Amino acid sequence: MTRDVIDPKLLFRDEVVNLPVYKTGTKFHELTEEQSKQEMLRLGSNENPYGPSPRVFEAIQETLNEVHLYPDSTCNDIAEKLGEKLEIDHGRLVFNSGSEAILHAMVNACLRPGDKVVSLVPSFPIINIFALAAGASVIGVPHEDDLSFCADKICQAVGGGVRMVYLCMPNNPTGSYFTGPDLEKIVVAANSETLFVLDEAYVEFAGDKPDYPDAIKILEVAGQPYIALRTMSKAYALAGMRIGYGIAYCEEFAGILKRVSTVFNIGGMTLKAAEAALADQAHLTQCLNAISTEKSRIEKEFASQDIRFFNSAGNFICIWFPTLEQALTIEAGMQKNGIFTKGQKGRGTEGVLRITIGKPVDNDRMLAQLRQLR
């Protein structure tokens, strides 16, 4: 006798069944033939339009004959090179296939049902999904009317019973950041056992902001537990290779976190590509300078058109709209013309549109299209 197949929802925890779906962006292979005929501009995923160092392709070629072998699960070579560059003990470094994989492992290991996490609104939404899945709740602190975030309001939120503070700096999708004095204020307001998670996926692009702080140094001086999450997907242009790393405040914290991570989580080819990219700092500097120059140009153009945008330290600019519907309408209009950006919910009923900085010719096309749609 055949039994009725059980409802899969009954096999998951309630927190997991009700999770929202993360919007990853356009699936380009699903575009219609008509859409595919247009030259597509990928300005929605914050990819580096200039690509990785030429050394990366050389490293990949040299590693092709080793694809049948398991990689070094300790990531020792890249850890030593990064440790030397960052001037820290490489035992404090944790690696995984993207920084969000480290965040996922950490949330599962550190958060308990009923715990509270403080974050910004809007911010990288994956923290909400991971926290909810663990049975925790997220306290979102929204931006101000002038499109800045108020440090005093963050201080109020972190004051009592907060297990974790998730600070995305530069913040995704707004590109916002706290200056040194503001960040110091926030750290002082937190309990000594509150874990600070610095999502620094875009930190390399912040070099053009003279008041951008050394967040790790501030946390270390305060003796606050932290982990800084970084990636080689953005500035180093290895998004398709998937490698991220975390800088833990002590080696013991890193060691415990490694126990709950999967083994062989980064392929050997990716490890070699990452080492090659890290070795070519001249290429990195060229990319950062080109993106910074274009960002300044676009900001001036937006300002001349009275377009409201956040002060961004990332490789993107975020435009504010009174409603989410308006942001999504502009996103759809751009996409019809082959320009892919990312619209999402902002504060309350507001919306935002995040636009990646592309090459000059691509940015010209984006600006022209935006003028038409507005």
For the chain, domain boundaries: 31-46+282-373, 54-279
CATH number, domain 54-279, options 1.10.620.20, 3.30.420.40, 3.40.640.10, 3.20.20.80: 3.40.640.10
Q: How confident is the model at residue 21 (pLDDT cuts 50, 70, 90)?
A: confident
Average pLDDT value for the chain: 94
Sheet containing strand 226-231, edge to edge, reads 93-96, 244-248, 226-231, 195-199, 164-168, 116-121, 137-142
What is the reported pLDDT for 29? 56
Q: Distance of alpha carbon 324 from its chain centroid, rounded? A: 21
Task: Look up the pTM and report it.
Answer: 0.93
| pLDDT value for 19 | 80
Equal CATH topology for 31-46+282-373 and 54-279? no
Domain 31-46+282-373 of CATH type 3.90.1150.10? yes
Question: E strand or H helix at 185, and its extent?
Answer: helix 180-189
Share of the chain above pLDDT 70, in %: 96
Strand 195-199 versus strand 244-248 pairing type: unpaired
* 25 — pLDDT class (breaks 50, 70, 90): low
pLDDT in tens, 318-358: 999 999 999 999 999 999 999 999 999 999 999 999 999 99
pLDDT digits (tens, 9 = 90+) for 29-56: 555 555 555 689 999 999 999 999 999 9
Task: Report the pLDDT value the prediction gives residue 2, as an integer from 0 to 100.
Answer: 72
**For 316-356, where are the alpha helices, taking DSSP H only?**
324-336
Coil, helix or strand at residue 307? coil
pLDDT digits (tens, 9 = 90+) for 103-153: 999 999 999 999 999 999 999 999 999 999 999 999 999 999 999 999 999
Residue 319's identity, in one-letter code, is I
- Residue pLDDT, tens place only, 250-281: 999 999 999 998 899 999 999 999 999 999 99
Predicted confidence (pLDDT) per residue in 155-181, tens digit? 999 987 899 999 999 999 999 999 999
- The average pLDDT across 219-225 equals 97
Distance of alpha carbon 94 from alpha carbon 83, whole angstroms: 11
pLDDT at 7: 85
Question: What per-residue confidence (pLDDT) applies to 39?
Answer: 83
Residue 300 has a pLDDT of 98
